[in-house]
A = this chain, B = another copy of it.
Amino acid sequence: MNIAKMKGGKPLILISNDDGFEAKGIRELVRFLRPLGHLVVMAPDGPRSGMACSITSDRPVVYHQLAEEYGLSVYKCSGTPVDCVKLASSEVLHRQPDLIVGGINHGDNSAINVHYSGTMGVVIEGCLRGIPSVGFSLCNHAADADFSPLEEPVCRIVSCVLQGGLPEGVCLNVNFPLAASFKGIRICRQARGRWVNEWEKRQRPPHGGDYFWLTGNFVGDGAAEEGTDRWALREGYVAVTPISVDMTAHAALDRLKEQIQG
């Protein structure tokens, strides 16, 4: 937040998520952030979990305003989480926002799950647009999860980012352990881990035909490796993983030049 913006009033914060505008997580996030800025919410009109950075290219998208009061405008959108950011930026916001916040997600987005998360899609899209962007997730899928212990650390992290910005091309993936209080905040690296037993097979009545529900167990999650986000969560810390939108494997460039470029 530069001085010009401070003089001009409160920071402008765009909020979206992947659980939809009615989810408790986004409603709690709005409640937490009301004192910190002018909020614009553009959220999907229903659940969009696991939609990653997907965009809608095969059909049109619509949005509708749901509420307008001093310091808060709320819209719902028929598209993906990334569509929400793109559409709000183009059609609703009168200027570039000072911050984009995704969440609070109902469920863990640590480790490799950053790749699947629609909440992190919001955040990556924000970062690609050059805007400081942060995603918040709670390791609890329940629709009525208790987000109240998150208020203080969410506001602290948001204030920090509003004041100090983020490095270019870097956004934050913040995950909260399922606890009534936290041991502190840890800046982490992304753990590995992998999903196993990913499909539950069922048969269609009356004459069969298999169909498959995505499910699974997350194993080898790196919780034993100090400094990973899974380790921090297991230890009771808030895990803050800085994410780079430059996905180049810089350390591999020389080897691959030799192997492939010839």
Contacts and interface: CB of A to CB of B under 8 A. Distances in A.
A62 B58 CA distance: 21
Q: Is the interface of A mostly helix, strand, loop or mixed?
A: mixed
Contacts of A124: 115
Nearest to A114: B247
Interface in A27-77: 47, 49-58, 60-63
Contact of A50 (B57, B115, B166): B57
Given A53-B53, A247-B190, A185 B260 contact: yes
Given A160-B259, A240-B261, A255-B167, A248 B189 contact: yes
B128 A115 contact: yes
Interface residues of A, number: 80
Contacts of A62: 209-212
Given A57-B49, A62-B211, A128-B115, A247 B247 contact: yes
Interface in A123-163: 124, 128-130, 157, 160-161
B112 A245 contact: yes
B55 A167 contact: no
Contact of A199 (B52, B90, B189, B241): B90
Interface in A245-262: 245-253, 255-257, 259-262
A239 to B, nearest CB: 11
Contacts of A130: 194
Nearest to A82: B116
A211 B242 contact: no
B54 A199 contact: no
A10 interface: no
A51 B48 CA distance: 12
Nearest to A173: B247
A214 B86 contact: yes
Nearest to A167: B252
Across chains A and B, which 6 residue pairs bring their CB atoms closest together, nearest first? A244-B249, A242-B249, A60-B211, A52-B53, A52-B52, A50-B55
27 contacts: A49-B57, A49-B58, A50-B54, A50-B55, A50-B57, A51-B52, A54-B116, A60-B211, A60-B213, A61-B214, A62-B211, A90-B199, A91-B199, A112-B128, A115-B247, A157-B260, A167-B249, A170-B252, A185-B260, A186-B261, A187-B260, A190-B248, A192-B246, A241-B248, A243-B248, A244-B247, A247-B247
